C-alpha cells in the first residue's frame, strides 16, 4: 500500500514541478510520513493526492454550435459552425440527414452549409479529444413566411356613416404563433390581431373587421400588413404588405325618411288634383244633360245677345 501511494505521490510531485508549482509532497516516497511537512496528516494527504491524480490524463472540453437556435424558410440553406475548446481534437464533424458541404475548417472549428431544409430536423456536432467524445445537437425549425397578403373591401362604394367590411387573408403561413395582421388606413392602424397556436403545417390566416365610413376615408388608401416575429426562436422579423385599395365615400343627398315623406306628399297631391279635375268634368257633363250645353257656353251666348240689343 505504501508503495502504491508512493508512486502516485511521485507522479503528482513531477506534475507539480512541470507546472512550476511548489512541492506539496515529500521529495522521496521512502521519506517517512511523520517527517514530511504535513506531519500527522501524511496519510490523509496521500489519499487526497491519489484521488486528485486519478484520471488526470483526460482533458475536459466543450462542444459548441452557432447559431444556438435556428429557423429556416422552407427549402432554404443555412450555415452552421461547430467548434470545441479542445486545442488539438483528434476528429470532429457534423451529423445530419441533410445534404451538407464543409466550407472551411481549422483545428478547433468547422464551418458547414446544409441545403434544402424542408422540415424540422436535428443536426449533431461532435469532437473527439484525448480519446473522449463530446457532442451537441441543434434543432432546425422550418417556417413559411407571409409571401402573399390579400386585401378586400366591400362594398367599395359606401355613404358616410354607413358600415363597410375590411378583410385580409394570408395564405400558406406557419407557424401562426407570432403572426400579427394589421389593417391600415394610410399609416393609421384601424385594427390588428396577433395569432396564437403551435401548428407547424402551413395554413391560411384571416382577419375580418367591420367599421364605419367617414368623409375623409376617400382620401386614404387601405392596406394590410402581415408581420411574423421569429426572433425569439432564432429567426428574423419577416413582413409583407398587400396592394393598397381605395374606398369611394359619398355624402347622401337626403336621408330615407325625407325621401319617404316627399314621395307620400307627392302621391297625395296628385290624387287631390286628379279628384278635383274629375269632379269638374263630371259636374260639367251633368249640367250639359240638363241644359243641353255647358253653362259657360250659355252664359257667353246671353252676353252676345245682350250686346247686340
39's torsion region: left (phi>0), alpha (psi -120 to 50) or beta? left
- In this predicted structure, the answer to whether residue 19 has a pLDDT above a threshold of 80 is no
- In this predicted structure, the answer to whether residue 14 has a pLDDT above a threshold of 90 is no
Decide which of 46 and 299 is more confident: 299
pLDDT of residue 54: 42
Convert the pLDDT of each residue in 223-268 to its tens digit: 999 999 998 888 899 999 999 999 999 988 765 677 778 888 888 8
Least confident of 31-35, 112-116, 135-139: 31-35
pLDDT of residue 115: 97
- In this predicted structure, the answer to whether residue 142 has a pLDDT above a threshold of 60 is yes
Cell of 93: 464533424
Convert the pLDDT of each residue in 26-72 to its tens digit: 444 444 444 444 444 454 454 444 444 444 445 689 999 999 999 99
Mean pLDDT of the chain: 80
Please state the φ and ψ torsions of residue 287, each to the nearest 5 degrees. Answer: -70, -35
User: Against a cut of 0.85, is the pTM above it?
Assistant: no
- Contact between 144 and 76 under an 8 Å Cβ cutoff? The reply is no
Helices then strands, counting H and E runs in the chain, come out as 4, 18
Decide which of 112 and 47 is more confident: 112
Contacts of 171 (CB under 8 A, 6+ apart): 148, 150, 204
pLDDT (average), residues 105-123: 95
- In this predicted structure, the answer to whether residue 212 has a pLDDT above a threshold of 50 is yes
pLDDT (average), residues 87-99: 95
pLDDT of residue 150: 98
pLDDT of residue 308: 65
Amino acid at each position: 500500500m505504501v508503495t502504491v501511494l508512493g508512486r502516485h505521490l511521485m507522479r503528482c510531485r513531477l506534475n507539480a514541478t512541470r507546472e512550476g508549482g511548489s512541492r506539496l509532497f515529500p521529495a522521496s516516497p521512502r521519506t517517512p510520513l511523520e517527517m514530511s511537512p504535513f506531519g500527522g496528516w501524511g496519510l490523509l494527504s496521500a489519499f487526497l493526492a491519489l484521488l486528485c491524480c486519478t484520471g488526470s490524463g483526460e482533458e475536459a472540453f466543450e462542444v459548441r454550435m452557432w447559431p444556438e437556435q435556428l429557423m429556416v424558410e422552407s427549402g432554404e440553406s443555412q450555415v452552421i459552425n461547430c467548434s470545441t475548446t479542445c486545442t488539438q481534437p483528434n476528429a470532429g464533424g457534423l451529423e445530419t440527414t441533410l445534404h451538407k458541404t464543409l466550407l472551411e475548417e481549422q483545428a478547433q472549428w468547422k464551418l458547414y452549409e446544409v441545403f434544402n431544409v424542408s422540415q424540422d430536423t436535428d443536426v449533431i456536432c461532435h469532437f473527439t479529444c484525448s480519446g473522449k467524445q463530446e457532442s451537441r445537437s441543434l434543432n432546425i425549425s422550418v417556417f413559411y413566411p407571409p409571401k402573399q397578403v390579400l386585401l378586400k373591401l366591400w362594398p367599395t362604394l359606401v355613404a358616410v356613416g354607413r358600415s363597410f367590411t375590411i378583410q385580409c387573408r394570408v395564405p400558406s403561413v406557419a407557424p401562426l404563433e407570432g403572426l400579427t395582421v394589421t389593417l391600415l388606413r394610410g399609416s393609421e392602424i384601424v385594427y390588428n390581431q396577433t395569432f396564437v397556436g403551435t401548428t407547424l403545417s402551413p395554413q391560411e390566416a384571416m382577419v375580418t373587421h367591420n367599421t364605419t365610413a367617414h368623409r375623409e376615408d376617400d382620401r386614404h388608401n387601405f392596406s394590410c400588413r402581415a408581420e411574423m416575429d421569429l426572433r425569439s426562436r432564432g429567426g428574423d422579423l419577416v413582413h409583407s404588405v398587400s396592394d393598397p385599395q381605395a374606398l369611394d365615400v359619398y355624402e347622401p343627398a337626403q336621408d330615407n325618411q325625407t325621401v319617404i315623406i316627399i314621395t307620400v306628399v307627392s302621391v297625395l297631391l296628385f290624387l287631390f288634383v286628379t279628384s278635383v279635375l274629375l269632379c269638374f268634368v263630371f259636374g260639367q257633363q251633368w249640367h250639359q244633360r240638363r241644359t243641353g250645353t255647358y253653362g259657360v257656353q250659355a252664359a257667353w251666348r246671353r252676353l252676345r245677345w245682350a250686346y247686340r240689343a
